[in-house]
Amino acid sequence: MNNHTKTPVSTASISIEHALTVLIVLALVAVTSVAHAFNLTVTDENGSLVNGFKWTLEENLKFDVAPGLQTQDSLSLSFHNSYSPVVASGECTGTGPSSCSIPTDANKKYFISVLPFSGHTQGGTTISGSDGAVTVDVHTFAIPTAQITVRVFLDDNPINGAPDDPEELVDVSAVSPSLANDFSTNLSQFTVHLAEAGGRFGQTGGEVYQDAFGNPLGTEYDPLNPGVVISMGTGSLRPDANGFVTIKNIPPAKYGITVIPPAGQGWIQTSTIEGTKTIDAWVLANEPSFFAEFGPPGPHAFIGFIKPFSNIPAGAGSVSGRITNNHMARPPEVGFFSGSPFGGCWIGLNESVAAGGAALYAAPCADDSTFSINGLANGTYDIVVWDKNLDIVIATRTITISDTTPNLALGDVPVFSWFARMEARVFLDENENGFREDTEQLIPEQATGFRFRNGTLYQGFPTDLGGEAPYDEVFPFFHWLVTEVDFARYKATGVTYVVDDGGAVPPDAGWDMPSFDILTPQAQTEVNPNTGNNLSRTITGPTITLATQSFLGQTNIVEWGKALYGTQDVDNAPYGNFPGVEDVDNDGDGVFEYGNGGITGLSFYAITRAENDPRFGAAEEWEPGIPRIQMSLYKDFTGDGNIDDVDGDAVITLSDVDNAPQGNFPGTEDVDRNGNGFFDYGDALQVVYTDSWDDNLPTGCVGPAFVAHPGTAIEKTTDCYDGLRNFNQLREGVYDGGYSFTSHIARDTGSVPTTGGVPTPPGGTPDEVPGLVSGYYIVESATPDGYVLMKEEDKNVDFGDEYVPAALPATCVGDFHTVSDYLSYQSGSDGLPLPGINPADLIPAPYAGEQRRLCDRKLVALTAGKNAAADFFLFTPVPIAAHVVGGILNDLGNEFDPNNPNFGEKFAPSWAPVTFSDWTGKLITKVYTDEFGKYEALVPSSPTVNIGSPTGLAPNMLSACMNDPSPVPNPNYDPADVSSAPFINDPYYNPQFSTFCYTFQYMPGSTTYLDTPVVPISAFATTGRFPLDCAIADHNPLIKYVTGPGGFTGPVIASDLAPFFPRELTIFSEGQ
């Protein structure tokens, strides 16, 4: 967290030069800001106007992509933004169909989210500030449920992690034809487990036992009367004897499927889609019982198993080797090197495809990752490599045993990992230099973690008894994350890190060559004074976060320094020269000792508001931080919960509020309490702002800089950005929402702020004094326009037990307010029930009608040797939009242009249309990839937090279609010409590539990262990219389309149609 102290800004001049600058800035603002307003209406799926809705307006800061136009700044060469500023929120009411006029700036872009008062889903759309009329579509309740089909199979023909039919589509209650009798099993002995992910990636959620109606999984309902239960489920899921099970009647969401084999039988899983034993499944409302995004329809998740066995034809041959990590070189170099041994590996052996491909052998590697298979007959085989944790991208290698080469010693066999790694360590930094000496011990039970840039948690766990936290499965998102360490019990003294630069791994030689035998140290730009070389970097001081990017098979090492808090030093005036002769340096080390960790916390966007008393609000892993929120610190000498007067005017004066954008005080969004045009501290001891990733982007990245469009007017030399070419990095960085108070402004006269010992002039900057003495303080959070402070009536889940935290959080000491009669999502800004809500459905608010303290100010007790915390919770009446960032890659082609940031990766089509649609096919928004294949968007999120799952969350599930030819208006349309079509395929649709659609999850304020490939389908090769040639010989019959029974489109025969239509398909040929 950064300590962003207040720098007052005034439009009044202190010098002529400053006055001219301000006038120029104001003139620019006057030219570029154009007041406007648009009229908002909401319609349902039938086009009928919806009566009454709430709305939230955000500024859309996504990159503008003009298809076909090269630009200097694009998403592919930059960071995607973490935050879309909330501009305003409100409600539109009336007895008839409603519409609202909403002010905008005509030169900006926005996203509007709406939520009708009752009976409808949330909706939203992207708009231009100059739009005059905007319509948002929503759906009427109820929304169909989803379903997931899972297949468990015996992966024996061949071992490859995927089902191979018809060989593996058998009832294995009979003996598998290719294996010994001990493989006979009934797949219904396996158990299938369903987990939900809280609508996101990473460490969230838990196992699901109930369907969307609160009944155990497996419950069957009357299809003609869905409210009637035919048979109650048990919550336990088992496949049938053939390995199939369909999980029905679940809310649309992102789920994780795991399968547990029968105990004691030796089964080992072979299947994964992107690492780990959990198979993800994304399902829309009204999801069919089969997965049909691409290729032939099949199960949503398939999971294969095999046992250790040997069925090798007798012979005298052998093969041996050692499985290692494939340690790739840093792009743009293309090279692969054998790295450290890959623990937990397994080896399989298949017949050659020509011989039938059956599995012959499966066994774990030795503890040192070596393997040896003996007794092989002459022939060709495929060696298969995977691992117990399924971190290896399953690999095959063809070998041939012959009389001339009977014994093959393969040596190291490098295989790719799905993940990057980070080894985090926390040590007791006795000399407080941020570097671990040999005598300094590692500290157990220290919290570490990874967060996304918006502050939501990705992974986190404490150091083990040895003081280490090995993160072995860090997904290479191709986008930066933030790693952190806490400092509740110890103060932060610095950090030392080693970054993996890829390539050949040299032998470890301590800090002379800190490879740790797993990485290639990246040469930093400066020499580390602790080692005498530049193969590591040490940052001294209170560093607790680092921004990082990492890629598969690479390992970064981070060692966080901690020390016990000492006796607080004193920095007397003049400030900034510690230790001056006037100061107190208790230990004489020349470094200011704060004596405590100050007061820290986060401002959270409260998605889940489960507590009756907002004092006990707890941050959830899926809740983003809110950047740029002003936090003010006040003194409470007695701890009575009241701010005390420190400026000597005998009244309590709150500080002014400089809301975002900071620096233009007093802007229309700010609070100037006395109207003097200057920022006044009042009785505040300090003012800071919550951290913003977007305002503190990583800089100074190490390695060759990529130059885009060299030699042109739009040439750009990159520094840090999201992308492979930037490779592995660790740099200074923060995530959204954090704040810290570790200092206070000078008041040398005993009252007003001072600079140089005299009162600070209007618009001036007071001196800053390090440290906070122990005692009671009050922290106040501003509530900017568009946001709402969480109160008792804002609870949005209405079931579950109430708990009190073991360690009580800070007490709320804001102004008193009267709690509304009903929960705020059922009532308007006036506290009255919203129109259209059945009175019987109204839920009384906790403490309804009582006078309760607001939680915008909290009482904090700061004690020596500790860190004090106070978190704050804000939200918007309609959940803010979800962010989308993705890329399109051609999975069958490479990028050969060295001036492309994807050089060495797969080819990325330029300016391809990308659409986002709901479960009915209704278009939500449409964007285009940039020149290098990346795209981003804002889409509606979800208000649902009360389903029967561990998180209670149901994300908005949308279908994202790549290279979508979706029609656009025909610019040459002539209504008088019968041959003229009003719409045409999008001109940027590329018929050389497939159109693939993917279902993904979208949550308020969080970014969903999409890896969305396409494949070439063009009939003839073109120059430049060497696409796949799929031309079919003349006179070969081709299928044009297929219809099912009754003329229904698609090659599907639904069982419930059988009594009414013949069970037949009709195939139509392309013809001549």
* pLDDT score for 14: 26
Q: Is residue 602 part of a domain?
A: no
Q: Is residue 641 part of a domain?
A: no
Domain ranges, residue 1054: 1039-1069
Query: What is the model's pLDDT at position 427?
Result: 98
Q: Are strands 545-549 and 301-306 parallel, antiparallel or unpaired?
A: unpaired
**What per-residue confidence (pLDDT) applies to 6?**
42
- Give Cα 131 to chain centroid, integer Å: 31
For residue 125, the SS3 value is strand
Same domain, 151 and 296: yes
pLDDT in tens, 462-489: 999 999 999 999 999 999 999 999 988 8
Verify that 107 and 231 share a domain, yes or no. no
For residue range 20-77, list pLDDT tens digits in order: 233 333 333 344 689 999 999 999 999 999 989 999 999 999 999 999 999 999 999 9
Residue 645 included in any domain? no
| Helix or strand (DSSP H, E) at 32 | helix 16-32
Other C-beta atoms within 10 Å of 581: how many? 6
pLDDT-based confidence at 18, cuts 50/70/90? very low
Residue pair 148/246 in contact by the 8 Å Cβ criterion = yes
State pLDDT tens for residues 965-995: 999 999 999 999 888 889 999 999 999 899 9
The separation between CA 994 and the C-alpha centre of its own chain, rounded to angstroms, equals 27
* Reported confidence tier of residue 744, pLDDT bands at 50, 70, 90: very high
One domain for residues 917 and 933: yes
Count Cβ atoms below 10 Å from residue 633 Cβ, excluding itself. 23
pLDDT on residue 481: 98
Give residue 373's pLDDT: 97
**Radius of gyration over alpha carbons of the chain, in Å?**
31
Q: What share of the chain is helix, strand, coil (3-state, %, to 5)?
A: 5, 35, 60
Q: Reduced to 3 states, what is the DSSP secondary structure of residue 353?
A: helix
Residues 914, 964 within the same domain: yes
pLDDT band at 894 (very low <50, low <70, confident <90, very high): confident
The last residue of one of the domains, among 381, 415, 449, is 415
Reported as a pLDDT band with limits 50, 70 and 90, residue 96 is low
**Which is nearest to 562 in space by CA: 440, 731, 730, 422?**
440
Domain membership of residue 558 (yes or no) is: yes
- For residue 749, the model assigns a pLDDT of 80
Question: What are the pLDDT digits (tens) for 909-941?
Answer: 999 999 999 999 999 999 999 999 999 999 999
Q: What is the CATH number of the domain that holds 54?
A: 2.60.40
Judgement on whether residues 341 and 238 belong to the same structural domain of the protein = no
Which of 19-33, 279-293, 522-536, 628-642 has the least mean pLDDT?
19-33
How far CA 638 is from CA of 78, 633, 653, 885, in Å, comes to: 50, 15, 18, 50
Average pLDDT over residues 140-163: 95
Q: Check pLDDT > 50 for residue 539.
A: yes
Q: Cα separation of 601 and 839, whole Å? A: 40
Asked if the structure places residue 535 within a domain, the reply is: yes
* 3 state DSSP class of 120: strand
- pLDDT value, residue 1041: 73
Which pLDDT value is given to residue 147?
96
What was the pLDDT predicted at 806?
53
> pLDDT averaged over the chain?
90
Residues of the chain above pLDDT 90, percent: 76
Q: What is the pLDDT of residues 196-209, one digit of tens each?
A: 988 888 777 899 99
Q: Which helix (H) or strand (E) holds 927?
A: strand 923-928
Q: Are residues 77 and 153 in the same domain?
A: no
Least confident of 251-265, 533-547, 887-901: 887-901
pTM of the model: 0.90
Same domain, 434 and 559: yes
pLDDT of res. 334: 87
Q: What is the pLDDT of residue 1061?
A: 60
Structure tokens that stand for 292 in this block: 């049909």
Residue at which a domain ends, from 115, 137, 159: 137
What is the rounded CA–CA span in Å between residue 764 and residue 965? 58
The pLDDT of residue 254 is: 95
Choose the final residue of a domain: 686, 713, 731: 731
Give pLDDT tens digits for 788-824: 999 999 999 864 334 444 567 899 999 999 999 999 9
Verify cis geometry, omega within 30 degrees of 0, for the bond prior to 761: no
Query: What single string gives the DSSP state of each residue in 947-993?
Result: SSSSS----EEEEEEET----EE-TT--TT-TT--SEE--TT--TTB
pLDDT of residue 953: 92
Pairing mode of beta strands 317-328, 407-415 = parallel
CATH number, domain of 199, equals 2.60.40.10
Q: Are residues 528 and 434 in the same domain?
A: yes
pLDDT of residue 1029: 56
The residues, ordered by sequence, that sit 6+ positions from 839 with a Cβ below 8 Å of its Cβ are 833
The per-residue pLDDT for 1047 is 59
Q: Which of 55-69, 148-162, 582-596, 703-717 has the lowest mean pLDDT?
A: 582-596
pLDDT of 152 > 70? The answer is: yes
Domain count, the chain: 6
Same domain, 73 and 171: no
671-707 pLDDT, tens digit each:
999 999 999 999 999 999 999 999 999 999 999 999 9
Residue 280 in this model has a pLDDT that exceeds 80 = yes
Q: Are residues 410 and 447 in the same domain?
A: no
- Among 692-701, 754-763, 1063-1072, top mean pLDDT goes to 692-701
Query: What is residue 200's predicted lDDT score, i.e. its pLDDT?
Result: 82
Whether residues 218 and 329 share a domain: the answer is: no
The 10s digit of each residue's pLDDT in 389-446 is 999 999 999 999 999 999 999 999 999 999 999 999 999 999 999 999 999 999 999 9
Residue 957 is predicted with a pLDDT of: 96
pLDDT exceeds cutoff 80 at 611:
yes
Residues 272 and 216 in one domain: yes
Tell me if 396 is assigned to some domain. Answer: yes
Any domain includes 872: no
183 Rama class: left (phi>0) / alpha (psi -120 to 50) / beta: alpha
Which residue carries 């992107």 as its tokens?
274
Reference 476, options 938, 65, 887; nearest CA is: 887
| Inside any domain, residue 804 | no
- The residues that bridge with 154 in the sheet, in sequence order, are 305
